[in-house]
């Protein structure tokens, strides 16, 4: 099983995270940020990853530190669980409809983590969640996970649907990318011989 466990404590957050790439999509999520709990629960389901997260953060300030630091931990855990990346498909992409929203996500587990996103989220908040934090989460995930991540919003007017579609699309793209290619299970998918 490709698994990892992260414990990260700062003056702003205390996070415990467990990740299993070859799971069934089960999750136990307690971040202190209700909307993020919802997004990470569906992220686990659509990626097929088993995911446990607990976070005690300074949400009396705002949710920024918790959201970003969870992205850091999830990216770090993903990178650790992949190990040398031998046999993975490396690439994945999904175009996902979420009612009126249509989101494209494409990933390369290149080791060169960066986010290239084009999202137009009309509302500043969904419930109490600052919608700009969705991008902060994916910046941290991509950077710490060594994931080249492209996200494009092709349609959408409902902020909840746009963000939810994004989490689902990224999850499904990652599911493809981390899967093992049975025809190349002993090979690292790079002519350089490494993905780092």
C-alpha distances out from residue 112 to 97, 121, 140, 174, Å: 28, 27, 13, 15
Q: pLDDT of 61-107, one tens digit each?
A: 999 999 999 999 999 999 999 999 999 999 999 999 999 999 999 99
Q: Which CATH architecture has domain 3-184?
A: 2-Layer Sandwich (3.30)
Q: What phi and psi values does residue 90 have, to the nearest 5 degrees?
A: 80, -45
Q: Give kind and range of the element (H or E) at residue 52.
A: strand 50-57
3-state DSSP percent of the chain in helix, strand and coil, to 5: 35, 30, 35
What pTM was computed for the model? 0.95
């Amino acid at each position: 099983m490709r698994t990892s466990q992260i414990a990260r404590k700062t003056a702003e957050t205390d996070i415990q995270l467990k990740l299993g790439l070859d799971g069934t999509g089960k999750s136990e999520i307690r971040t202190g940020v209700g909307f993020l709990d919802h997004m990470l629960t569906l992220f686990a389901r659509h990626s097929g990853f088993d995911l446990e997260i607990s976070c005690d953060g300074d949400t009396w300030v705002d949710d920024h530190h918790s959201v970003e630091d969870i992205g850091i931990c999830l990216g770090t855990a993903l990178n650790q669980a992949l190990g040398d990346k031998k046999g993975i498909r490396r690439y994945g992409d999904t175009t996902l409809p979420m009612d009126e929203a249509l989101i494209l996500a494409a990933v390369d587990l290149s080791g060169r983590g960066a986010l290239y996103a084009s999202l137009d989220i009309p509302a500043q908040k969904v419930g109490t969640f600052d919608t700009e934090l969705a991008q902060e989460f994916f910046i941290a995930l991509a950077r710490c996970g060594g994931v080249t991540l492209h996200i494009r919003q092709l349609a959408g007017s409902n902020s909840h649907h746009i963000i939810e579609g994004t989490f689902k699309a990224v999850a499904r793209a990652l599911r493809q990318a981390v899967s093992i290619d049975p025809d190349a299970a002993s090979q690292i998918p790079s002519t350089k011989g490494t993905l780092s």
